[in-house]
Amino acid sequence: MTAARPGNNLKAELAQFKRRRIREEASHLFYRHGYEGTTIDAIADKLQVTKPFIYSYYKNKGEILYDIAKLGITLSLEALERCLVIPGSSWDQLKLVVDEVTRIIVENQEYIVVYLREEKNLDPQQARAIREQRSAFDHRLAEVLASGDAVGEFRVEDPALTATTIGGMMSWVALWYQPGGHWSEAEIITHIIRSVERLVAVRGRQEAAPAPRR
């Protein structure tokens, strides 16, 4: 196998950087003015580039929206899979998932809010692709809940519905979290973990400790 040339790697990294900057500025504008209220001209002006520069990385505004909208669930799925390969009980894994995914939602709050507000403007196939990713996340989380219930660690009557409820609880944070507000990120994560503990009726535990930050 031929090794990748350093120049090729640099070119790819630069392309990724430029796409990320376009995505970031577009997200700011979509968040403040809405998707329909934002033009490619406005994105280009914000970046101090030309419209052809934008079009060299995204074929249209809808493709930028899709790139923004899928980020949260893509990162969340990756985090979930990382957590599930770490040895531990079902509760240990569930705590890690809640910790990691809630952090992702807080850190990418603007992107997630844009998705929740603007899903209606996505191409139907793109919207379906994101919903399928969300469904895959819920399905994997339901497997953890079912596994914990099977060994008597949880008491969960409907793992699929409970997984969807937990996912919604985490996603909802994006709509009200305020950086520097009344509750810190750590306090919110601890609260959600304790709420999840009550929801799944974890047995033999008095209080849920915050999941460790790896």
Task: Determine the pLDDT at residue 203.
Answer: 73
Tell which residue, 136, 148, 160, has the closest CA to residue 95.
148
Tell which residue, 181, 144, 150, has the closest CA to residue 166.
144
Instruction: Give CATH 1.10.357.10 domain extents, the chain.
Output: 61-214
Task: Determine the pLDDT at residue 206.
Answer: 42
Q: Quick one: pLDDT band at residue 208, thresholds 50, 70, 90?
A: very low
Other C-beta atoms lying within 10 Å of the C-beta of residue 171: 19
Mean pLDDT of 112-117: 96
CATH H superfamily, domain 8-59: Homeodomain-like (1.10.10.60)
Task: Determine the pLDDT at residue 11.
Answer: 86
* pLDDT tens profile 140-199: 999 999 999 999 999 999 999 999 999 999 999 999 999 989 999 999 999 999 999 999
Q: Quick one: pLDDT band at residue 214, thresholds 50, 70, 90?
A: very low
Q: Which residue has the higher pLDDT, 22 or 10?
A: 22
* pLDDT tens profile 40-91: 999 999 999 999 999 999 999 999 999 999 999 999 999 999 999 999 999 9
Task: Determine the pLDDT at residue 7.
Answer: 59
- Give 120's DSSP letter: G
Instruction: Give CATH 1.10.10.60 domain extents, the chain.
Output: 8-59
- C-alpha span between 112 and 34 (Å, rounded): 13
User: What is the topology classification, in CATH, of domain 61-214?
Assistant: Tetracycline Repressor; domain 2 (1.10.357)
* 121 CB-near residues (< 8 Å, 6+ apart): 35, 36, 62, 65
**DSSP for 173-190, written as a single string:** HHHH--TTSSS-HHHHHH
- C-alpha span between 87 and 77 (Å, rounded): 18
